[in-house]
Chain A
Amino acid sequence: MRRLIGLALVAWMLAACASIPQGQRSALAEWKPSPNHGLRKPSVIVLHYTVEDTLEGSRDILSDAERKHPVSSHYLLDRDGRLLQLVPDHLAAWHAGAGRWGSLDDLNQASIGIEIVNTGSEPFPDVQIDALIALLRDLTQRHGISPQQVIGHADLAPGRKIDPGRWFPWKNLADAGFGLWPRGELVDPPPGFDPWMAMRVIGYSIDNPRAALHSFRLHFRGIDDGDRGVAAGAGAADPSAARPALDPEDLRLLYALTR
Chain B
Amino acid sequence: MRRISIALIAALALCACATAPRNPLAKWVPSDNFDARRPVVIVLHFTEQDSVQQSLDTLRSRNSGGRVSSHYLVGDDGRIYQLVSDQDRAWHAGAGSWGAITDLNSASIGIEIDNDGHEPYTEAQIAALLRLLDDLTTRLRIPKSQVIGHSDLAPTRKVDPGPHFPWKRLADAGYGRWPQDTASAPPPGFDGWAAMAAFGYPLADRAAALRAFRMRFRGRDDGAALTPELDAEDLRILHALTQGP
Contacts and interface: CB of A to CB of B under 8 A. Distances in A.
Contacts, number: 272
A81 B66 CA distance: 42
B43 to A, nearest CB: 12
Nearest to B196: A201
B3 interface: yes
Contact of B244 (A64, A70, A239): A239
A40 B79 contact: no
B31 A6 contact: no
A51 interface: no
B35 A197 contact: no
A25 B19 CA distance: 21
B111 to A, nearest CB: 10
Contacts of A23: 86, 139-140
A2 interface: yes
A90 B189 CA distance: 44
A121 interface: no
Interface in B1-35: 2-3, 6-7, 9-10, 13-14, 16-23, 25-35
A13 B17 CA distance: 9
A84 B2 contact: no
Nearest to A192: B189
Given A26-B139, A103-B98, A92 B35 contact: yes
A104 B40 contact: yes
Contact of A92 (B25, B26, B37): B37
Contact of A85 (B28, B88, B90): B28
Interface stretch (B67-75, B117-125, B155-163, B212-220): B67-75
B171 interface: no
B82 A31 contact: yes
Nearest to B33: A72
B87 interface: yes
B129 to A, nearest CB: 10
Contact of B194 (A26, A93, A258): A258
A10 B190 CA distance: 62
B6 A62 contact: no
B224 interface: no
Name the residue in A110, A134, A145 with the highest tally of chain B Cβ atoms < 10 Å from its Cβ: A110
Interface string A93-104: 110000001111
Contacts of A27: 135
A3 B6 contact: yes
Contacts of B7: 6
A193 B191 contact: yes
Contacts of B82: 25-26, 29-32
Contacts of A44: 100
Interface residues of B, number: 83
A64 B21 CA distance: 23
Given A34-B83, A63-B33, A83 B16 contact: no
A138 B59 contact: no
Given A23-B139, A40-B39, A83 B6 contact: no
Contacts of A184: none
Contact of B89 (A31, A34, A39, A83): A39
B99 A36 contact: no
B41 interface: yes
Contacts of A39: 19, 88-89
Given A37-B89, A72-B34, A258-B197, 18 more contacts: A2-B3, A29-B80, A32-B60, A36-B60, A37-B84, A38-B91, A59-B29, A62-B31, A83-B23, A83-B26, A87-B33, A94-B35, A102-B198, A109-B39, A135-B23, A145-B102, A201-B197, A239-B245
Interface of A: 2-3, 6-7, 9-10, 13-14, 16-17, 20-44, 59, 62-65, 70-72, 75, 82-94, 101-106, 108-110, 134-135, 138, 144-146, 149, 191-194, 197-198, 200-201, 203, 205-207, 239, 258
Closest 5 CB pairs of A and B: A103-B99, A88-B20, A102-B100, A72-B33, A36-B69
18 contacts: A17-B16, A20-B35, A23-B140, A33-B60, A34-B84, A37-B89, A37-B90, A39-B89, A42-B37, A59-B29, A65-B33, A84-B29, A89-B21, A90-B19, A91-B37, A135-B23, A145-B102, A201-B198
